[in-house]
Amino acid sequence: EAVQAEKCTALHGVPTMFIAMLDHPDFAQYDLSTLRTGIMAGSSCPIEVMRRVIDEMHMDEVTIAYGMTETSPVSCQTNKHTPLEKQVSTVGLVQPALEVKVVDTETGEIVPLGETGELLTRGYSVMKGYWGSRFKTREAIQDGWMHTGDLATMDEDGYVKVVGRSKDMVIRGGENIYPVEIENYLYRHPKIRDVQVVGIPDKRYGEVLAALIIPKEPDC
């Protein structure tokens, strides 16, 4: 309603928001022809969703942005000149005045193009540190390089593709969730003996939580 009423040209959000709009029962009744660009970020966008945003929401110049709060936040982004196949499958190129590299998680050495490693970023956007935690800061930032915890590849043109996460974190509809916090809460239940929380793929939210529970014996 807002896009139609205000004749918006840009729309920003996480993939879950775009999925919700595309799947709205009255979606076809609204005129979104004024839309042209915007930013999709926060979590990985399924390729088919990106294609629908371009085709059905008229956002030919939509961009994919990648980053984290600790990097202020965007490190890589696509643009209107990005080829369609890379627009729907990568997070684009490194931002001006920043650096990124993909390194072996064991050795810290840069991996060959096309191979998977941890994505690191360095530059003016990287935070100074975590408030009140020098240990966590030293763990995350080394020689100015921010360890994102994300696993990625880089192709010969410099396009970065995020393929997974090395950190134990689940992103549900753009919200960062740490499984251990949920596990600690569930452990308080009198009938739960053990629990492991993991992320599983979900069409709407990208990922959702699943709890694998071992119940206590009836007599416990």
pLDDT tens for residues 135-152?
999 999 999 999 999 889
pLDDT at site 71: 97
Quote the CA–CA distance of 74 and 86 in Å, as a whole number: 18
Sign of CA dihedral 108, 113, 116, 122: positive
Give phi and psi for 9, each to the nearest 5. Answer: -110, -15
Q: Tokens in use for 212?
A: 């694998």
Residue type, 2: A
Asked if 91 and 162 touch (Cβ cutoff 8 Å), the reply is yes
Torsion of CA 156, 47, 149, 123, to 10 degrees: 60
Q: Is the pLDDT of residue 127 over 60?
A: yes
Q: Is the pLDDT of residue 167 over 90?
A: no
Domains present along the chain, CATH in parentheses = 69-74+93-167 (2.30.38.10), 168-220 (3.30.300.30)
User: Which is nearest to 75 in space by CA: 142, 126, 39?
Assistant: 126
At a CB cut-off of 8 Å and minimum separation 6, what does 128 contact?
none
Q: Is the dihedral of CA 172, 178, 181, 184 positive or negative?
A: positive
**48's tokens:** 């088919």
Instruction: Write down the pLDDT at residue 139.
Output: 95
pLDDT at 219 over 60: no
pLDDT over 50 (residue 220): no
β 93-94/10-13 pair status? unpaired
Residues with Cβ within 8 Å of residue 135, at least 6 apart in sequence: none
What is the pLDDT of the chain when averaged over all its residues?
A: 91
pLDDT digits (tens, 9 = 90+) for 7-64: 999 999 998 899 889 989 999 999 999 999 999 998 777 777 888 899 999 999 999 9
Q: Does the pLDDT value for residue 87 go beyond 90?
A: no
Mean pLDDT over 78-90 rounds to 89
| Residue 92 and residue 108 in contact, taking contact as beta carbons nearer than 8 Å | no
